[in-house]
Structure 1
Amino acid sequence: MANKLTGKRYLMDVGILKTELHFESESSMVFTVLDGGGLTDKGHSERVAITLAEIRPDVYMIAWKEASGATVTHVEDHQNGVIYSNATLPDGSFYTMRGTVKPL
């Protein structure tokens, strides 16, 4: 069964980092950095293979590994517009972020 995210685009804003998330399919997403906040370059875009699990209606856990080796896990609550993002960068630094997610 398809999830409600497939085919849609969202704006993720966690303060220091703003990205567009485009869910192409159940297993593929393209993220585009709108404001990297010093963590990554503005304009960077990448297609990633994702693991997506619906925790409850409109709440998803999504995880992926980027070409750089960075790993990311989101809990996205689309009902309330809240996102929790955890990222481990290749240098071992770890970021826990909370912000908003809204449809574009």
Structure 2
Amino acid sequence: MKSNLTGNRYIMDVGVLKTELYFETDESMVFTIIDGGSLTENGYSEHVETTVAEIRPQVYMIAWKELSGATVTHVEDHENGIIYSNATLPDGSFYTMKGTIKPLSP
């Protein structure tokens, strides 16, 4: 089943990190760091395999593992423009972030 995310781009802003998310398919996404703050370098981009679960219309839980070994889980509420992001880095540090998610105009 194709989600409403597929083929769309979004801007995620959690204060310490601003990222573009491009959902190629229900199983893959490309993220590009717009402003990495102190967490990562600006301009870094990576293609990741995703698991997408629709919680209710316009609310999704999305999880992936990055090349670095970092794991990320989002709850994206597109109806209200809110994102909750949890990330565990390879060194074991854990980040819980909340911010906004907005569609990027084509």
The TM-score with structure 1 as length reference comes to 0.99
Task: Quote how far apart the aligned CAs of 1:59 are.
Answer: 0.1
Correspondence for 1:101: 101
Residues 1:48 and 2:31 are matched in the alignment = no
Correspondence for 2:71: 71
Aligned positions of 1:1-104 closer than 5 A: 1-104=1-104
Distance 1:42 1:93 in 2: 20
How many residue pairs get aligned? The number is 104
Alignment root-mean-square deviation, CA: 0.4
- Encode CA deviations 1:62-85: one digit per residue, 9 max, x unaligned: 000000000000000000000000
Q: Secondary structure at the match of 1:11?
A: strand
Gaps of 5+ in 2: none
Distance 1:38 1:46 in 2: 18
Taking only the aligned residue pairs, the percentage that are identical comes to 75
- Encode CA deviations 1:24-80: one digit per residue, 9 max, x unaligned: 001000000000011011000000000000000000000000000000000000000
Task: Quote how far apart the aligned CAs of 1:3 are.
Answer: 0.6
Gaps of 5+ in 1: none
Distance 1:89 1:20 in 2: 19
